């Protein structure tokens, strides 16, 4: 029984490492660039009015009501209005330089030797889940043979306890 419990702890530790492994630096860069592109799109200047003798239209944010913290906590401040979106404008203006810097920072701290893409992470999680279920089936058989002297863990996999197919969905492990 102790071996089963130790094997289950090892499976859980492997599952935890797999779930918490970082994503590859290439994917990190793509994700960040997508965020920056979306923000830059919001920050573009609008020259429509200039064509008709007007002024440049700067990007704006609509200010929504916010809760005040501190002494007046819970009071709703009615602050509807627009303000310039300086962050979006700055990203739009300096997009290439920001992307270059983001890429440098990601690559500087990257550890691709321990990273997992979504497909590999999924494969490894399925493998660990199958291994854990096999151990739990052995544990359950030992529990049944003990005639009640060994207690079942409260987090035992229902599929192992009831002898159900491993093709059934994995119970929520988070």
According to the model, what pLDDT value does residue 78 have? 47
Distance in angstroms (rounded) separating the CA atoms of residues 89 and 86:
5
Strands 76-77 and 66-67, how do they pair?
A: antiparallel
Residue range 33-42: average pLDDT?
97
- pLDDT tens profile 71-104: 554 444 445 567 889 999 999 999 999 999 999 9
Distance in angstroms (rounded) separating the CA atoms of residues 163 and 159:
6
pLDDT at 37 over 90: yes
């Amino acid at each position: 029984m102790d071996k089963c419990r130790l094997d289950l702890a090892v499976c859980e530790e492997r599952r935890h490492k797999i779930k918490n492994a970082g994503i590859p630096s290439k994917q990190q860069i793509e994700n960040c660039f997508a965020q920056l592109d979306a923000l830059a799109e919001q920050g573009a200047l609008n020259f429509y009015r200039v064509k008709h003798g007007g002024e440049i239209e700067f990007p704006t944010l609509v200010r929504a009501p916010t809760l005040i913290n501190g002494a007046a906590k819970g009071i709703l401040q009615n602050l509807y209005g627009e303000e310039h979106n300086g962050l979006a404008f700055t990203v739009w203006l300096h997009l290439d330089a920001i992307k270059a810097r983001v890429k440098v920072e990601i690559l500087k701290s990257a550890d691709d030797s321990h990273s997992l893409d979504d497909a590999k992470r999924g494969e490894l999680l399925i493998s660990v889940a199958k291994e854990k279920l096999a151990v739990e089936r052995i544990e359950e058989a030992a529990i049944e043979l003990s005639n009640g002297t060994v207690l079942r863990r409260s987090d035992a996999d229902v599929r192992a306890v009831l002898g159900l197919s491993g093709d059934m969905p994995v119970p929520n492990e988070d």
